[in-house]
Structure 1
Amino acid sequence: MTETDTQATATDGAAPLLVSKDGPVVVLTLNRPDRRNAIDRAMRKALKKELWRADGDGDVRVVVLTGAGTSFSSGVDLPEALSGPPPSAEGPTPTQVLRGISKPVIAAVNGPCYTGGYELAVNCSFIIASDRAEFADTHAQIGLLNGWGGSAMLPRMIGLPAAIQFILSGEPIDGRTAARIGLANEVVDHDELMERTLVIAHRIADGHPEAVQRMLRLLKEGAGASLAHALGLEAEAAATFRPDGADIGARYAKRRAEKS
């Protein structure tokens, strides 16, 4: 895996976001480990820029989002947010960009994932958690409301009663609990987190790029729809998708060869 620098830098000179590439997979690493990867303006700007860049790059198939050091993210840098212009002046939120891009984004949650950090994670396509991961939403406890989609996304992932308890209590849950209730897809040993996440990312990246993107869009659009509407979306997509018979045959033969 090779690293490339983002062009945005934090005020202390350190890049707020590290960008590395592993073939068709781009890894974005929140990079303020001394502040538990608190999300400041520079990081928000860099994250949106790199997500848009990945979405427009035909060589990128999957994005992985993780944190440097021992935390995924403690959330928005509250002292900075309270002392300057509101984030609403910055245009789209990072989570609006996450929901809007066409490429799958996997959150590799390597440690504490709190509040705005948790909202980043639940707006990714899915979460793989380290056994050192910890999730909590403290908005209501300190007098704030979700503003990055957490209250809309979480009930769809874990059900309404569990979401109410999680969001209103602010009580942390560990990675194994997150996997049990459906917040995380898997929980793995900490030292295996990136290896496992990259295996999944490359499996997705090996798929037909247009089919993967169309299926991702179908799944996201159908998740909040009635069954009848979701079936209609699927029928419409199938009617307009133009499969390549030769490519399908080659991909099928390759999969059979790998299994034999």
Structure 2
Amino acid sequence: MTETDARDAATQAESPLLVTKDGPVTILTLNRPDRRNAINRTMRKALKKELWRADGDDDVRVVVITGAGTSFSSGVDLPEALSGPPPRTEGVTPTQVLRGISKPVIAAVNGPCYTGGYELAVNCSFIIASDHAEFADTHAQIGLLNGWGGSAMLPRMVGLPAAIQFILSGEPINGDVAARIGLANEVVEHDELMPRTLEIARKIADGHPGAVQRMLRLLKEGAGASLAHALGLEAEASATHRSDGADIGARFSKRRSEKS
């Protein structure tokens, strides 16, 4: 390793957001383990930048967000937020970017995922949780309100009664409960969290990039619509989607050979 490489590696290690690649998968690691990955201004800025970058990179098919150390994230860095300009003065939020980009984003929740960290996770496409994961929303308990979409997203994932209990009580739930109520798609042994998340990410990345992105948009747009409107969106997308018969045939043959 050259001196320049060593300096770049040291700079990356000190960054509040680590960026690594696994083929077509970009992994964003919240990197303030000594502060339980509290989301400060620098991290928010870096998150938005890297999400936009991934969205514009044709070689990136899926994004994974996880945390360094033993926590996913304890939420917004409250001492910093209370001593300076509030996060709402920074323009679009990281969760607005998450909801707006065209690539699937998986939250690999490796430990405590609280308040702003929970809001970050529920704005991802879906959550895979470690058996060390713990979820809680303490906004109402300390006198704050959701500002990153948590109160809008959670009822659509777990239903209204479960969302009310979770948000108003501030009571933590573990990964098993999160999976049972629909907050997390799966809960896996801690050592299997990243291998399982990357396994899913690679399967998504193997799909047709245009079809994956169009289906993701359809699912997002249809989730809050009436059935009739969602069916209309699907019919419109199907009618305007340009397909390549040769490519479809090759992909179908590949999948059939892999299963045989």
Q: Decide: shared fold, TM above 0.5.
A: yes
SS in 2 for 1:19: strand
Match of 2:150 in 1: 150
Structure 2, unaligned runs of 5 or more:
1-6
User: Could you tell me how far apart the structure 2 residues matched to 1:161 and 1:39 are?
Assistant: 29
Q: CA contact under 8 A between 1:54 and 1:63: conserved in structure 2?
A: yes
Change (3 A) 1:42 1:14: same
Query: Aligned-pair distance for 1:89?
Result: 1.4
User: Could you tell me how far apart the structure 2 residues matched to 1:199 and 1:127 are?
Assistant: 14
Aligned length: 253
**Which protein has the bigger helix share?**
2
> Superposed, which structure 2 residues align to 1:90-129 within 5 Å?
90-129=90-129
Matched, 1:172 2:196: no
Match of 2:20 in 1: 20
Match of 2:258 in 1: 258
SS in 2 for 1:39: coil
User: Could you tell me how far apart the structure 1 residues matched to 2:55 and 2:102 are?
Assistant: 6
Match of 1:231 in 2: 231
Amino acid at match of 1:217: R
Amino acid at match of 1:180: R
| TM-score of the superposed pair, with normalisation by structure 2 | 0.95
Amino acid at match of 2:95: T
Provide runs of 4+ in structure 1 moved above 4 Å: none
SS in 2 for 1:171: coil
Query: Aligned-pair distance for 1:211?
Result: 0.1
User: Could you tell me how far apart the structure 2 residues matched to 1:6 and 1:223 are?
Assistant: 43
What do the CA deviations read for 1:125-165 (whole angstroms, capped 9, x no partner)? 00000000000000000000000000000000000000000
User: Could you tell me how far apart the structure 2 residues matched to 1:47 and 1:34 are?
Assistant: 19
Query: Aligned-pair distance for 1:15?
Result: 0.1
Amino acid at match of 2:124: C
User: Could you tell me how far apart the structure 2 residues matched to 1:6 and 1:19 are?
Assistant: 12
User: Could you tell me how far apart the structure 1 residues matched to 2:14 and 2:253 are?
Assistant: 47
Match of 2:42 in 1: 42
SS in 1 for 2:14: coil
Change (3 A) 1:216 1:6: farther
Query: Aligned-pair distance for 1:6?
Result: 9.6
What do the CA deviations read for 1:41-98 (whole angstroms, capped 9, x no partner)? 0000000000000000000000000000000000000000000011111110000000
Amino acid at match of 2:141: Q
Q: CA contact under 8 A between 1:6 and 1:46: conserved in structure 2?
A: no
Matched, 1:133 2:145: no
Identity of aligned residues (%): 87
SS in 1 for 2:252: helix
User: Could you tell me how far apart the structure 2 residues matched to 1:170 and 1:85 are?
Assistant: 26
User: Could you tell me how far apart the structure 2 residues matched to 1:182 and 1:85 are?
Assistant: 35
How large is the RMSD of aligned CA atoms in angstroms? 1.5
User: Could you tell me how far apart the structure 2 residues matched to 1:161 and 1:72 are?
Assistant: 26
User: Could you tell me how far apart the structure 2 residues matched to 1:244 and 1:88 are?
Assistant: 45
Structure 1, unaligned runs of 5 or more:
none
Match of 2:4 in 1: none
User: Could you tell me how far apart the structure 1 residues matched to 2:153 and 2:8 are?
Assistant: 29
Amino acid at match of 2:30: L
Match of 2:3 in 1: none
Change (3 A) 1:195 1:6: farther
SS in 1 for 2:135: strand
Query: Aligned-pair distance for 1:241?
Result: 0.3
Query: Aligned-pair distance for 1:14?
Result: 1.8
What do the CA deviations read for 1:176-216 (whole angstroms, capped 9, x no partner)? 00000000000000000000000000000000000000000
Match of 1:240 in 2: 240
